């Protein structure tokens, strides 16, 4: 299915893109240590920027992990079932995933919009705007939800037809 492949591509693409954040964080942390301990001139932005960037990467990478089905399960019973039974169970439990991620998208958007309305800032010496970070929650949850829907449709297809599409 074309749509499902597009969703997969979005997850992989966002994972690849935001994984670049990690090496960047290493660079900033080391840079800050050099400035502080060697030149006694700490920046006002480094630590905050590190947290900011890392927070974005946590949110945006959830879908990527889910594409690889890397989110851990308790598989004492699960692994004993046939692949088709597993697909059926995944179809059933999907509604709970939907409830959780849907709520995050919905409530998270409201939360971020309120911040956007007043152009909220962090209030630190560096004082960057904070609403983009708040939008990371609904956007990250939406990406994860899309990947869950793609996985769900595949499971449903497998559960009904008995063969992988």
Residues near other proteins, by CB under 8 A? 15-16, 18-20, 22-23, 25-26, 28-30, 32-33, 37, 47, 50-51, 54-55, 57-59, 61-62, 64-65, 68, 70-78, 81, 86, 89-90, 92-93, 96-97, 99-101, 103-104, 107-108, 110-111, 133-134, 136-137, 144
As measured in angstroms, the least distance from the Cβ of 65 to other proteins is 4
- Cβ count within 10 A of residue 46: 19
Q: Choose between 2 and 125: whose C-beta lies nearer to other proteins.
A: 125
Length of the chain equals: 165
Phi, psi of 121 (to 5 degrees): -120, 170
Q: Choose between 90 and 159: whose C-beta lies nearer to other proteins.
A: 90
Q: Choose between 2 and 80: whose C-beta lies nearer to other proteins.
A: 80
As measured in angstroms, the least distance from the Cβ of 22 to other proteins is 5
As measured in angstroms, the least distance from the Cβ of 25 to other proteins is 7
As measured in angstroms, the least distance from the Cβ of 90 to other proteins is 7
Q: Choose between 2 and 12: whose C-beta lies nearer to other proteins.
A: 12
| 3-state secondary structure string across the chain | CHHHHHHHHHHHHHHHHHHCHHHHHHHHHHHHHHHHHHCCCCCCCHHHHHHHHHHHHHHHCHHHHHHCCCCCCCCCCHHHCCHHHHHHHHHHHHHHHHHHHHHHHHHHHHHHHHHHHCCCECCCCCCCECHHHHHHHHHHHHHHHHHHHHHHHHHHHHHHHCCCC
As measured in angstroms, the least distance from the Cβ of 2 to other proteins is 25
Q: Choose between 2 and 136: whose C-beta lies nearer to other proteins.
A: 136
């Amino acid at each position: 299915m074309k749509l499902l492949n597009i969703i997969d591509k979005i997850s992989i693409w966002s994972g690849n893109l935001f994984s670049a954040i990690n090496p960047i964080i290493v660079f900033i942390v080391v840079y800050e240590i050099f400035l502080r301990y060697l030149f006694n001139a700490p920046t006002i932005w480094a630590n905050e920027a590190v947290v900011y960037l890392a927070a974005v990467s946590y949110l945006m990478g959830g879908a990527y992990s889910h594409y690889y089905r890397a989110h851990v399960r308790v598989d004492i019973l699960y692994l004993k079932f046939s692949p088709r039974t597993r697909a059926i169970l995944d179809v059933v439990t999907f509604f709970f995933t939907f409830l959780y991620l849907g709520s995050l998208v919905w409530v998270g958007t409201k939360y971020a919009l309120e911040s956007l309305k007043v152009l909220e800032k962090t209030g630190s010496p560096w004082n960057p705007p904070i609403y983009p970070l708040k939008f990371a929650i609904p956007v990250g949850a939406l990406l994860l939800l899309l990947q869950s829907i793609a996985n769900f449709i595949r499971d449903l297809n497998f559960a009904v037809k008995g063969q992988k599409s």
